[in-house]
Chain A
Amino acid sequence: MDTVKIKNLTKKFGSTIALNDLSLNIEEGKITGLIGADGSGKTTLLRTVIGLLFPDSGEISVLGFNPSTQKEKLNSYIGYMPQKFGLYEDLTVIENLNLYADLKNVPHDFEKMLEFTSLSPFQDRLAGALSGGMKQKLGLACTLLGNPKFLLLDEPSVGVDPISRRDLMQMVRGMISPETTVLWSTAYLDEAHSFDTAVVIDKGKIIYEGKPHDLAKTPQEFENKVIDLMGGYSKTFSEIAENYVPHNIEMECTVIADKLEKKYGNFYAVKDNSFCIKKGEIFGLLGPNGAGKSTSFKMMCGLAKPTNGTASIMGIDIRKDPEKARSNLGYMAQKFSLYGSLTVRQNLEFFAAAYGINYTQRNDKVEEIIRVFGLDEYSEQKSEKLPLGLKQRLSMACALIHNPPVLFLDEPTSGVDVITRRDFWNHITSLSKKGVTILVTTHFMDEAEYCDRISLFYQGKTIAIGTPKQLKEQAKADDMETAFINLIKESEN
């Protein structure tokens, strides 16, 4: 028995084809992973399946209903978690649960749910005050209320640390009944590898459908195979790095954190954080959500004032002369923080001016950056209209426009598909070879392997520091993810 039957489904937005003559059946009682690049049509497919969007042509049947006309009946049997979780941030945990229980007409019996999500101690906390991982668990709990026959999750694990991801997976597997069908869209291929079925979608068409284990035995191989299916990625030399003009730097440590501390009231967001990053090193800052990574980051670039300690960039104390220290720095923020209503070219022109590039050189510099980053096609488009992967590339272009010796990247690959991520890391490693010092945070443990050294951050403190190999040995683990989880568990004891 199939939960979903789709035949020749086409959906257009204006002239863009989101879903192109797509046919797919989803088996009952199985977890199906939906894999695809940004803009490949994953979210559109989920939304069309539950009747939030209407198809232009083709047939869909979900649990025997037509979602376009029988949405109300269908809604009683489904649980859907949209990308932003759908939580009311100004309601408490328990109030969110009460609301969704009433909307789904199920009793207010949350004991098992709260225990499973370990949200019991936080029942009266506002959902907006929860950490990313906890929000996600609450979102999932609300979605799971009323034991839906068909569960749809739209990239539930974006921007969440490995521990929360593992919890989430256990929660779904533990809470659903054997007949429940799950459609799980994800950018994590290790996650997708553990599902019953994998569906790879590209440009609105399905390019692979089958058991993940048939495609590859290990998650790593699976990732490579999926990349091949999507057209492949061959590591080429990085024109971005090629274009970079190396600086003549004599010092050993270009970035130094000296006993950085940030205290909010009685709470230490960051405590006694010291490290030194050598010239040309890729230094990874890892840790669960809310560990204090972003706060450290902000202090390092002078955006937040440390309550104690200091940091220096290229030997310039960030507390004494923040402007001068920052001029040596390219910064890429976690969220897309460019001007959405400006075109690609206008954004670059603005940042060129903001970083103090001479007026006479500015045009040439912008032209050069547009060419090197392969943005020619999009240079006159509004930046908010770009797909996520291109937005990230533009952010990086803006961060590199003044040829800085130091680069800070805060979760640069969050929510980006696997090919774009590979491409991105190719540039990062090539840049480091040319002497750029790079500080990076990430939740992808496979990316951590690219770092020369890693500092593992937990509850505001550094709990381990070393090369990826050293950390794995210290945690007696084979892969970074297990090392990460083991080291954090150890520090709790």
Chain B
Amino acid sequence: MKILLALIKKEIKQILRDPSSIIIAFVLPFISIMIYMYGINLDSVKVTIGIKNDDNNPETATLVKSFGHSKYVNSINYDNEKDIETAIVRSKIKGAVIIPNDFSTKLSKGENADLMVITDGSEVNTANYVQSYAMSIANQWLSTSKFAKNTVKPLISVESRTWYNPDLNSHYFIVPGSVAVTMTLIGILLTSLVVAREWERGTMEALLSTRVRKIHIVLGKYIPYFLLGMLSMLFNVFLCTGVFQIPFRGSYLLLFLISGIFLLTCLGIGLTISSKLKNQFLASMVAMSLGFMPALMLSGLMFPINSMPKFFQYLTMFLPPRYYISFVESEFMTGGVYEIRIENAFYLTFLGLLLFFVVYKNTFSSLEKKPKSSFVNKQERGAL
């Protein structure tokens, strides 16, 4: 116990004196959340579109006006199609709406009127927005215009309501998800260096010739970096809920409990890399690619898992961030679903224990692996 305490004390002092671990634990999350908050936006953004009105009816002028008043759209009026084309090529506008000259005539007759919507397919997302905005603005205008009486009442009226995130604000799930990415990075990056460092500087050799045992070395690395990781987690959550006002509806107790389990899996990955490679540079490179990329790409944060090819779907089952992101998003937005909590906590605990076992197996109490042959036993008899 005394040995473990001494090792933990030593590790904490090293952390405090080493600016890089403090930077990883506190500056990295800050930068990362800033990027996710302001840099990445999956939502409806205000798009600029062009409008060309060929119909002289005063009623269609109100349609042009409602495009101008929409909170999703900026509109610019054009007189000929050539100008619209140039504007789209120069990315001045993201699409255009053309009202044909027989638009109001057809509507007043109760016939089907055409409305042309041009979109820029080189930016698929934006093109979709332009299309759906144009549609909904036109429909809204129709229901309040004098042509409303000519429309057939639909038999089904769709009442749509979005649960948990009524504004469909993507920050509400991306930012908590980013916490998971940062936590992965912190957990793996911090610990990937620390065992390799002891090998490189020759301190491991000195430690191994004292009363230190395997379990001391393993726990002596796990515990201090767990504490640092949890502090970083606290800071992350504070940034999310305190500074950026992301709503949190779940239980803080469970959030930190399951985050703790998740952190253990990340520390486990980092320590495995570190004790296998014994080289700081190599370890940090492997940690970056093994930690960061899958957490971002294969965790379901950016790209939904069930739309991945089958092979990748199975692969994600071995990635701790997958379970954690699912948990964190649900904890923040829904206020906690017990099935999600239990399922993810179960898998994370399983992976955490598995990794701990791997780390323990990869930690030697000597400079090389103990030979398994019966020779050792023969030796012992010889010594006694």
Contact = CB atoms under 8 A, between A and B. Distances in A.
A348 B298 CA distance: 47
B10 interface: yes
Interface in A236-270: none
Interface stretch (A57-65, A201-209, A443-451): A57-65
Interface string B227-264: 00000000000000000000000000000000000000
Contacts of B383: 59-61, 64-66, 69-70
Interface in A19-75: 47, 50-55, 57, 59-61, 64-66, 68-72, 75
A71 B214 CA distance: 12
B6 A68 contact: no
Given A53-B366, A88-B14, A91-B14, A68 B206 contact: no
Given A99-B6, A102-B2, A87 B375 contact: no
Interface in A78-99: 78-91, 95, 98-99
A351 interface: no
B202 A103 contact: no
A53 B368 CA distance: 6
B211 interface: yes
A297 interface: no
Given A52-B366, A85-B202, A90-B17, A100 B210 contact: yes
A72 B211 contact: yes
Contacts of A76: 211
Contacts, number: 113
A57 B10 contact: no
B367 interface: yes
A79 B99 CA distance: 91
Nearest to B18: A90
A84 B210 CA distance: 16
A82 B13 CA distance: 23
Contacts of A126: 17
B57 interface: no
Contacts of A70: 380, 383
A472 interface: no
Given A57-B375, A66-B383, A89-B201, A105 B209 contact: no
Interface in A102-156: 102-105, 126, 142
Contacts of B206: 80-82, 85-87, 142
Contact of B6 (A51, A102, A142): A102
Contacts of A57: 375
Given A54-B370, A86-B202, A105-B2, A75 B210 contact: yes
A84 B202 CA distance: 6
Interface centre among B7, B206, B384 (most CB of A within 10 A): B206
B39 interface: no
Nearest to B6: A102
Contact of A59 (B9, B367, B370, B382): B382
B200 to A, nearest CB: 9
B212 interface: yes
A45 to B, nearest CB: 13
Chief secondary structure at chain B's binding surface:
helix
A45 B207 CA distance: 18
B367 A68 contact: no
Contacts of A50: 209
Nearest to B375: A57
A155 to B, nearest CB: 12
A72 B6 CA distance: 18
B213 interface: yes
A84 B366 contact: no
A53 B208 CA distance: 11
Interface string B109-153: 000000000000000000000000000000000000000000000
Contact of B209 (A55, A80, A87): A80
Contacts of B371: 54
A103 B375 CA distance: 31
A85 to B, nearest CB: 7
B207 A95 contact: no
Interface in B1-22: 2-3, 5-7, 9-10, 13-14, 17-18
A416 to B, nearest CB: 20
Contacts of A83: 202
Nearest to B4: A102
A79 to B, nearest CB: 8
Contacts of B212: 103
Given A59-B379, A75-B211, A103 B366 contact: no
B169 interface: no
Contact of B367 (A47, A61, A95): A47
B203 interface: yes
Contacts of A69: 376, 379-380, 383
Nearest to B213: A72
Given A59-B379, A75-B211, A54 B2 contact: no
Contacts of A87: 203, 206
Nearest to B212: A103
Contact of A104 (B17, B211, B365, B367): B211
8 contacts: A52-B208, A64-B383, A68-B376, A75-B209, A80-B206, A91-B10, A99-B7, A103-B7
Given A51-B366, A54-B376, 16 more contacts: A47-B367, A52-B205, A52-B208, A59-B383, A68-B379, A69-B376, A76-B211, A78-B209, A83-B202, A84-B202, A85-B202, A88-B203, A90-B14, A98-B6, A103-B3, A103-B6
Interface of A: 47, 50-55, 57, 59-61, 64-66, 68-72, 75-76, 78-91, 95, 98-100, 102-105, 126, 142
Interface of B: 2-3, 5-7, 9-10, 13-14, 17-18, 201-203, 205-213, 365-368, 370-371, 375-376, 379-380, 382-384
Q: Which 6 A-B pairs have the closest CB atoms?
A: A86-B206, A84-B202, A102-B6, A66-B383, A80-B209, A82-B205
